[in-house]
């Protein structure tokens, strides 16, 4: 599953940005990280392009004009760029859902489960530890389709202008809370462990004993930052990621790629049963589709799906190489056979499964499912090692 994450920051915060980006890439794959900014040097992005080449992760430069931004100086540590979290539906038109993160966090675990969360509200967020009647806007999972459908950017900025005209605070957290009220999905504290509240401010009692070790996102909120304040929990975790190098990130990403199982289809047709569902439900498998012919738009339209690899017009020697790197032959398409491919599968002893109406007499299958037994197929794949 592709995970989209967005930051809004500027060049003076690049040390913190570098640290959280490394923390994400050392715990997650299949991730695209958008950095909305006005002044971060392009060379910083060039380096990540080199580091992440041949992986399924990206760090993307989204530069905007400083004049687009509205802001309020209620807090010295809030800057103009923070308001771009309201603009993400327009800035990232290709994304349906994005996790917005402030730069003063680290991601200390895998985010796959968060991105499978089913909610119908415009956003999901955790309770603010200091003002528990609000959500904390430093970590928000945004339903961008809904933001665009409801034209929320325009409505929120109009609301902001009216608040400022009325003499009310215009910082993004109070504006968003006043605008949405209770129209959000409540996340648990493990997705926004606001350890910054430890310093100088007493967090609400129910959060004092939340374990750092069991949390996925640590948030060094308020003015208390891990790189300057000695009184907050989790400073060692921030410094751990700070000292990780680009080679650590690259090694992790390559190992993640090597651990993925390769599932092979061989086809003479472009209509492959269950393909879209397989790609969605099994993001940690690579699905390889090889065909001896050209491929039609039904397949080619999916070519940018991160765990799909298309090989049109394959020849014998290339097909041998493809079978050699395959961990499972998924023979569920049709009864049209290719004796050479079946011979390669036998020679390499690639495990094979089929439906009873697609099986071949030339292969020994691990399992043959009743035709259309999707539940049985899914159960097999979930347990496949």
For residues 166-185, average pLDDT: 91
pLDDT at 347 over 90: yes
Of 291 and 214, the one with more pLDDT = 291
For residues 20-36, average pLDDT: 95
The whole-chain average pLDDT of the chain stands at: 89
pLDDT at 257 over 80: no
Quick one: pLDDT at residue 76? 46
Pick from 302, 233, 231: which is nearest to 265 by CA? 302
Distances in Å between the Cα of 182 and the Cα atoms of 100, 139, 140, 353 are 19, 16, 14, 49
What confidence category does residue 209 fall into, taking pLDDT thresholds of 50, 70 and 90? low
Under 8 Å between Cβ of 377 and 354: no
What is the C-alpha separation between 181 and 126, in angstroms, rounded? 13
For residues 45-49, average pLDDT: 89
Under 8 Å between Cβ of 72 and 78: yes
Q: What is the pLDDT of residues 86-99, one digit of tens each?
A: 999 999 999 999 99
Q: What is the pLDDT of residues 352-378, one digit of tens each?
A: 999 999 999 999 999 999 999 999 999
pLDDT at 75 over 60: no
SS3 category, 22? helix
Quick one: pLDDT at residue 240? 94
Quick one: pLDDT at residue 279? 92
For residues 70-99, average pLDDT: 79
Both tokens assigned to 36: 């909305």
Quick one: pLDDT at residue 303? 78
pLDDT at 72 over 70: no
- Choice among 194-208, 257-271, 301-315, 356-370 with the minimum mean pLDDT: 194-208
pLDDT at 218 over 80: yes
What is the C-alpha separation between 170 and 168, in angstroms, rounded? 6
Quick one: pLDDT at residue 359? 92
pLDDT at 121 over 70: yes
What is the phi/psi pair of residue 294, to 5°? Answer: -65, 160
The angle subtended at Cα 186 by Cα 182 and Cα 85, nearest 5°, is 80
Quick one: pLDDT at residue 374? 94
Quick one: pLDDT at residue 171? 84
For residues 8-33, average pLDDT: 94
Pick from 231, 188, 186, 193: which is nearest to 209 by CA? 193
Which of the listed ranges 134-148, 203-217, 271-285 does the model predict with the highest average pLDDT?
Answer: 134-148
For residues 3-25, average pLDDT: 95
pLDDT at 105 over 90: yes
For residues 22-28, average pLDDT: 95
What is the phi/psi pair of residue 356, to 5°? Answer: -70, -20
What confidence category does residue 193 fall into, taking pLDDT thresholds of 50, 70 and 90? very high
What confidence category does residue 201 fall into, taking pLDDT thresholds of 50, 70 and 90? low
What is the phi/psi pair of residue 34, to 5°? Answer: -95, 130
Question: β-pairing, 3-8 with 31-37?
Answer: parallel
pLDDT at 380 over 90: yes
> Among all chains, which residue has been given the structure tokens 């969605």?
280
pLDDT at 142 over 80: yes
């Amino acid at each position: 599953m592709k995970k989209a994450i967005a930051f809004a920051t500027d060049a003076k915060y690049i040390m913190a940005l570098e640290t959280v980006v490394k923390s994400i890439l050392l715990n997650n794959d299949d991730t695209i990280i958008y950095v909305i900014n006005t002044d971060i040097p392009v060379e910083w992005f060039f380096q990540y392009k080199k580091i992440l080449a041949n992986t399924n992760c990206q760090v993307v430069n989204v530069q905007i004009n400083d004049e687009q931004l509205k802001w309020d100086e209620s807090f010295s540590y809030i800057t103009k760029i923070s308001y771009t979290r309201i603009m993400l539906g327009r800035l990232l038109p290709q994304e349906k859902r994005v996790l917005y993160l402030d730069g003063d966090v680290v991601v200390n675990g895998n985010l796959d489960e968060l991105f499978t969360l089913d909610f119908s509200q415009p956003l999901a967020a955790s309770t603010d530890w200091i003002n528990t009647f609000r959500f904390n806007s430093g970590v928000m999972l945004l339903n961008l389709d809904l933001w665009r459908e409801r034209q929320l950017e325009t409505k929120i900025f109009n609301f902001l202008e009216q608040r400022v005209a009325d003499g009310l605070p215009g910082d993004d957290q109070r504006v968003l809370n006043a605008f949405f009220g209770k129209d959000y999905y409540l996340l648990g504290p493990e997705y926004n462990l606001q350890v910054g509240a430890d310093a100088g401010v007493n967090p609400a009692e129910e959060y004092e004993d939340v374990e750092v070790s069991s949390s996925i996102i640590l948030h060094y909120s308020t003015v208390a930052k891990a790189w300057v304040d000695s009184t907050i929990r989790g400073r060692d975790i921030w410094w751990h990621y700070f000292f990780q190098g680009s080679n650590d990130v690259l090694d992790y990403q390559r190992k993640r790629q090597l651990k993925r199982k390769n599932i092979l289809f061989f086809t003479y047709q472009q209509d492959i049963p269950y393909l879209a569902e397989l790609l969605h439900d099994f993001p940690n498998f690579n699905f390889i589709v090889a065909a001896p012919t050209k491929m039609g738009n039904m397949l080619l339209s999916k070519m940018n799906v991160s765990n799909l690899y298309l090989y049109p017009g394959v020849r014998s020697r290339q097909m041998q190489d493809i079978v050699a790197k395959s961990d499972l032959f998924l023979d569920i398409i049709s009864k049209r056979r290719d004796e050479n491919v079946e011979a390669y599968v036998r020679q390499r002893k690639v495990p094979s499964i089929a439906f009873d109406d697609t099986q071949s007499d030339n292969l020994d299958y691990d399992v043959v499912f009743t035709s259309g037994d999707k539940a049985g197929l899914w159960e097999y794949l979930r347990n496949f090692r």
